[in-house]
């Protein structure tokens, strides 16, 4: 399948090809999960995508990717969303891969990229700390050079699916005397290295998507450094651009929209003018989001760096998602505040799971307040 130029296919032909494949191969039991899927559950699907050459749609062909152009990428994501395909622990595909292609050494690319695509290596992101979330440059996890190694001490938190990962891409402070952004380095760390402790955090919905990770005299080789020493903030900014692009995908809010439309049909609300006004307004918000997302995807595909204005994508996506799940719970009436799936005239709806899932979205990946500050300072050039 790797020899096919998918971009040369007509859009409808490509869409039908993806749809047929997903409907035939994706596990029925994993459709429309109201939580983040664990790697043990979705490993078979990952292997299926890998064997078909579809696990890395955003990667170039030389590294086993599909090399999809922006239009085909949107179609690929739309069909995955339409069928309710769960998002696996894909940070290696969406973030680490592009970063290594840009900043990694040949040895790092040769080792990590094929193993990331195959799923032998699964990545988690070691960024946030108890006192360094949206103010990421305040991070204090320390890596001291000792001969041919770094010795790492500190703590990370809100590390998504760290308990499923084999490796962590880590921001550490390597110069305590430099300005905050100047003394940071980017490391690739094997999660089984002695001294690493991973503890899951159970959230309000009862899921353990996030973890805290402790580093106690963790010794890693110096060749795990990506980019130059103390140049990790440059790497991190590029990666945060990819992250905000990924977070800003219309995929998650579109899933909630499908739930809302299913509920509305089951309750006969599509004949209610008041409900339809609100439903169409939020649907148009998501159409705008998809258009904005497509613009940034096209920019990345052209090899252009994402500017500070990508923060607008994250704000729009997450706040629209929250508004949508608010309406979902409200429309559910008395059932909307009771946990678990409910049978609404033959439609099975879980109201609170999407609502809970959307709550932290305006915080992680840089809070909406921080994103607005970035836009006002660097895009609008307003005074601080």
% the chain with pLDDT above 70? 96
In which band, very low, low, confident or very high, does the pLDDT at 185 lie, cut at 50, 70 and 90? very high
Instruction: Kindly tell me if the per-residue pLDDT of 248 is higher than 90.
Output: no
Pick the last residue of a domain from 205, 231, 257: 231
Short-list 41, 32, 70, 79, CA closest to 259: 32
pLDDT at residue number 217: 98
196 and 253 share a domain?
Answer: no
Pick the last residue of a domain from 64, 88, 112: 88
Pick the last residue of a domain from 231, 263, 281: 231
Q: Give the number of domains in the chain.
A: 3
> Which DSSP letter does residue 160 get?
T
226 and 280 share a domain?
Answer: no
Q: What number is the average pLDDT over the span 292-316? A: 82
CATH of the domain at 319: 1.20.140.10
Helix (H, G, I), strand (E, B) or coil at 143: strand
Q: What number is the average pLDDT over the span 64-89? A: 85
pLDDT at residue number 142: 97
% the chain with pLDDT above 90? 59
93 within domain boundaries = no
Residue environment code for 228-255, b if the CB has 16+ CB neighbours within 10 A, otherwise e: ebbbbbebbebbbbbbbbbbbbbbbbbb
Helix (H, G, I), strand (E, B) or coil at 35: coil
Q: Report pLDDT digits (tens) over 344-376.
A: 877 778 888 888 888 888 887 778 898 899 999
181 and 289 share a domain?
Answer: no
111 within domain boundaries = no
Q: What number is the average pLDDT over the span 265-287? A: 93
49 within domain boundaries = yes
48 and 129 share a domain?
Answer: no
CATH of the domain at 128: 2.40.110.10
Cβ atoms of residues 127 and 133 within 8 Å: no
> Which DSSP letter does residue 361 get?
G
84 and 132 share a domain?
Answer: no
256 and 202 share a domain?
Answer: no
209 and 262 share a domain?
Answer: no
Cβ atoms of residues 332 and 342 within 8 Å: yes
239 within domain boundaries = no
The residues that are catalytic are 243
pLDDT at residue number 180: 82
42 and 135 share a domain?
Answer: no
Helix (H, G, I), strand (E, B) or coil at 250: coil
Question: Distance between CA 32 and CA 84 in Å, rounded?
Answer: 4
pLDDT at residue number 2: 54
- Mean pLDDT is lowest, of 114-118, 119-123, 211-215, 265-269, for 265-269
- DSSP sequence for 299-340: HHHTTPPP-GGGHHHHHHHHHHHHHHHHHHHHHTGGGGGS-S
101 within domain boundaries = no
Instruction: Kindly tell me if the per-residue pLDDT of 330 is higher than 80.
Output: yes
- How far from 114 is each of 82, 227, 290, 334, CA to CA, in Å? 29, 20, 30, 50
- How far from 206 is each of 58, 351, 357, CA to CA, in Å? 33, 15, 11
Q: What number is the average pLDDT over the span 253-278? A: 90
338 within domain boundaries = yes
In which band, very low, low, confident or very high, does the pLDDT at 10 lie, cut at 50, 70 and 90? very high
143 within domain boundaries = yes
| Residue-range definition of the domain harbouring residue 37 | 6-88
171 and 64 share a domain?
Answer: no
102 within domain boundaries = no
222 and 316 share a domain?
Answer: no
313 and 214 share a domain?
Answer: no
pTM: 0.82
Q: Radius of gyration (Cα) for the chain, nearest Å?
A: 21
Average per-residue pLDDT for the chain: 89
138 and 65 share a domain?
Answer: no
């Amino acid at each position: 399948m790797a020899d096919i130029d998918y971009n040369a296919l007509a859009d409808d032909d490509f869409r039908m090809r993806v749809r047929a494949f997903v409907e035939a191969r994706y596990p029925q039991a994993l459709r429309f999960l109201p939580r983040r899927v664990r790697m043990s559950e979705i490993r078979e699907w990952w292997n299926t995508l890998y064997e078909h050459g579809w696990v890395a749609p955003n990667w170039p062909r030389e590294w086993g990717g599909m090399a999809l152009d922006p239009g085909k990428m949107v179609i690929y994501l739309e069909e995955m969303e339409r069928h309710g395909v769960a998002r696996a622990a894909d940070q290696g595909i969406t973030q680490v891969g592009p970063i290594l292609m840009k900043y990694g050494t040949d040895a790092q690319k040769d080792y990590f990229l094929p193993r990331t695509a195959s799923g032998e290596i699964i990545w988690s992101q070691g960024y946030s700390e108890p006192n360094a979330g949206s103010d990421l440059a305040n991070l204090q996890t320390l890596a001291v050079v000792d001969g041919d190694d770094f010795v790492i001490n500190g703590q990370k938190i809100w590390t998504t699916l760290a308990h499923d990962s084999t490796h962590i891409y880590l921001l550490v402070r390597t110069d305590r005397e430099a300005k905050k952004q100047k003394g940071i380095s980017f490391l690739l760390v094997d999660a089984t290295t002695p001294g690493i402790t991973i503890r899951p955090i159970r959230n309000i919905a009862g899921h353990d998507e996030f973890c805290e990770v402790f580093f106690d005299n963790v010794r890693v080789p110096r060749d795990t450094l990506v980019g130059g020493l103390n140049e990790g903030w440059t790497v991190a900014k590029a990666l945060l651009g990819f992250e905000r692009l990924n977070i800003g995908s219309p995929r998650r809010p579109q899933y909630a929209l499908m739930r809302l439309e299913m509920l509305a049909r089951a309750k006969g609300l599509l004949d209610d003018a008041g409900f339809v006004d609100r439903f169409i307004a939020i649907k148009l918000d998501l159409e705008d989001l998809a258009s904005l997302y497509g613009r940034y995807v096209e920019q990345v595909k052209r090899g252009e760096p994402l500017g500070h204005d990508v923060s607008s994508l994250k704000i729009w996506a997450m706040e629209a998602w929250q508004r949508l799940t608010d309406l979902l719970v409200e429309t559910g009436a008395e059932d909307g505040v009771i946990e678990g799936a409910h049978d609404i005239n033959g439609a099975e709806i879980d109201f609170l799971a999407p609502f809970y899932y959307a709550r932290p979205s305006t915080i992680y990946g840089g809070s909406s307040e921080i994103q607005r500050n970035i836009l006002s300072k660097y895009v609008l050039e307003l005074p601080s």
